[in-house]
Structure 1
Amino acid sequence: MNLFNLFLMIHIAAGCICLITGLLAGISKKRKGRHTISGEIYHGFFLLVFISTVVMSIMHWKESAYLFYIGIFSYGLALLGYTSAKIRWKNWLRIHIGGMLGSYIGIFTATLVVNIHRIPLLNELPVLIFWFLPTIIGTPIIFKIGKKYRPAKRERKTVLE
């Protein structure tokens, strides 16, 4: 087995774990326990996906340079979401939701685009559709969930004279 294939196997295994644990974190109650454990596993394996993406794209730069940039962007979202939950800066929850869901859209899109040629009927459609479809579906979900966790506006008190 050559080095590229080793990184590819790590990449595929870590990506599968991310798809599962990201989904588990997303459907779990948002509290310590299943959500946080799934999120920790998701972030750790996303880091492996990122590292393997960088290595493989450098090894086959001519064919895969674009994967390098997608990997940086997607992991950047995961790191932003993960870090915001750890540091808990202002509006951390909305940043956490956007970062984590954005990274999940990224890994889902990559998985779909790479494997779409193996799915009967869907492989008849232009692959470009599958580059954008997860974002088109996922972005409104991010806004809807983010809105749910938006801090309430403070009521303004008026002074009657």
Structure 2
Amino acid sequence: MPAYTVLLALHITAGALGLLLGPVVGWADARSRPDAARSRHSADWWPWYLRALAAIGITATIMVLWHRTDLWWLIPLSALTYALALLGRRAAGRPEAWTHAYVHGLGGSYIALWTATLVVAFALHGPLRGPFELVAWLGPTLLALPLLELWRRRLLVPVGI
């Protein structure tokens, strides 16, 4: 099996794992309210999510440098995705003032995963062309940002109300 095929398989596997683990981390964090203990239940899941994002970024970087240098801009984008996840992890379990960083760090990294998946499937190698490519590029953000904001506000409501 050619090395590029193995690399692509690793990238796809890490991407699928990231897409599965994002909601698991958020669900585990939401289960462990109040804020002081928020990260207790998700502590087992965060490292796996971060490892999946790191694997995605590393494999994407190698594939871009090896095969598609015209997609160089994906390298800083994958680093930003990882940085958003790190922000979310750092903010997990912190006081209420960190809720925005937590939700938009975890949520932003997850939106980036979905955006990358849809762009590759439908814009770079798929049927969307021209202005229709914006559906793949902007769709996940436009759909998820209002949901993230609702989630953030829900986290701010004291337990028992």
1:99 and 1:44 map into 2 onto residues whose CA distance is 16
SS at match of 1:37: coil
8 Å Cα contact 2:103-2:151 kept in structure 1: yes
**C-alpha deviations, 1:67-89, integer Å up to 9, x for none?**
11221221111111122227x37
* 1:141 equivalent in structure 2: 147
Distance of aligned partners of 1:13 and 1:93 in 2 relative to their CA distance in 1, 3 Å threshold = same
- In structure 1, runs of 5+ residues without a counterpart are 153-161
TM-fit CA distance, 1:54: 2.0
Q: Is the Cα–Cα contact under 8 Å of residues 7 and 59 in structure 2 kept in the other structure?
A: yes
Structure 2 residues not aligned, in runs of 5+? 33-39
Q: What does residue 131 of structure 1 align with?
A: 137
The normalised TM-score by structure 2 is 0.75
State the aligned residue count. 146
The answer for the alignment partner of 2:113 in structure 1 is: 107
1:85–1:96 CA contact under 8 A, matched in 2: yes
Q: 1:90 to 1:54 in 2, by over 3 A?
A: farther
What does 1:57-76 align with in structure 2 at a 5 Å threshold?
57-60=64-67, 62-76=69-83
Partner in structure 2 of residue 16 of structure 1: 16
Return the index of the structure with the highest Cα Rg.
1
2:96/2:156 contact within 8 Å kept? no
Alignment root-mean-square deviation, CA = 2.7
Mean Cα displacement is larger for which, 66-75 or 105-114?
Answer: 66-75
Normalising by the residue count of structure 1, what TM-score does the alignment of the two structures yield? 0.75
Q: Give 2:7's aligned residue.
A: 7
* Percent identical residues: 27
For CA contacts below 8 A with separation 6 or more, give which structure has more relative contact order.
2
Between the aligned partners of 1:70 and 1:96, the Cα distance in structure 2 is 19
Distance, in Å, in 2 between the alignment partners of 1:6 and 1:40 is 24
Aligned to 1:30: 31
